[in-house]
Amino acid sequence: MKHLERICTGIDTSEIRAVLDRWPQLWAGTPLPRKARAIQAGVSLANRASNAHRDVSALQLRWLRPPSWDFYPAEVSGIADWALPLVQVVAAAIGARQIGYVSLHRLKAGGMIEPHIDVDDHPSVGRFHLVITSNPQCICTSGGERAHMAPGEIWRFDHRVMHSVVNASPDYRVHLVLNAVAPEYSCEAAA
């Protein structure tokens, strides 16, 4: 497929799932008990201003909007400690030279991300999804291609074409989403 590409499978996401299961208050921005405040460090709740994303809750693990794409950090830093090992696994799997935005996105049960195009990214930056939780009734579409992304899989996702997601199940779906400069998987290479 041109717009959706499975890069690898079998990634262990159990540690990050355990954090999210233990502290569901993260999704609401509610302060955690004192003993768990380290979990909240480096995490912010994102407001999804876009109508297309009204069914999505986002935990920003690292938010960057550099004035120039030339200044993306070359290392994986500034990310919540409990998410860092998994982000490093993804970075290694995709051959990332630089990492930018990193976030966890939760799509509610029965929810959808309406068809839209993301136009604010430089073409050398690719968008990658690591599936934390999902189900066969959750279907992603990009550029007319459709795929179910299963837990433990990393996908390159072309966000520069019309894309959407439908979660027709009674369970939510969580993806780790990151932007990276990974030459083998750049949007320029896919065009």
Give a yes or no: residue 65 inside a domain. yes
Give a yes or no: residue 89 inside a domain. yes
Q: Per-residue confidence of the chain (191 residues) as pLDDT tens digits?
A: 899 999 999 999 999 999 999 999 999 888 888 888 888 877 877 765 567 788 898 888 876 554 444 444 556 667 788 898 999 999 999 998 888 888 999 999 999 999 998 876 566 778 899 999 999 999 999 999 999 999 999 999 888 899 999 999 999 999 999 888 887 875 444 44
Q: What is the pLDDT at residue 180?
A: 86
Give a yes or no: residue 33 inside a domain. no
Six-digit token string for 144: 């007319």
Q: Rounded distance, CA 55 to CA 108, Å?
A: 6
- β-bridge mates for residue 151, sequence order: none
Give a yes or no: residue 34 inside a domain. no
Question: Total structural domains in the chain?
Answer: 1
Give a yes or no: residue 94 inside a domain. yes
Task: Tell me if 173 sits within 8 A of 148, measured CB to CB.
Answer: no
Q: What is the CATH number of the domain that holds 186?
A: 2.60.120.330
Instruction: Please state, as a whole number, how many other Cβ atoms lie within 10 Å of the Cβ of residue 189.
Output: 13
Q: What is the pLDDT at residue 71?
A: 40
Six-digit token string for 55: 């069914």
Give a yes or no: residue 77 inside a domain. yes
Give a yes or no: residue 36 inside a domain. no
Label each residue of the chain as H, E or C: CCCEEEEECCCCCHHHHHHHHHCHHHHHCCCCCHHHHHHHCCCEEECCCCHHHCCEEEEEEECCCCCCHHHCCCCCCCCCCCCHHHHHHHHHHHCCCEEEEEEEEEECCCCEEEEECCCCCCCCCEEEEEEEECCCCEEEEECCEEECCCCCCEEEECCCCCEEEEECCCCCEEEEEEEEECHHHCHHHHC
Give a yes or no: residue 15 inside a domain. yes
Domain membership of residue 166 as a residue range: 4-27+42-190
Q: What is the pLDDT at residue 63?
A: 63
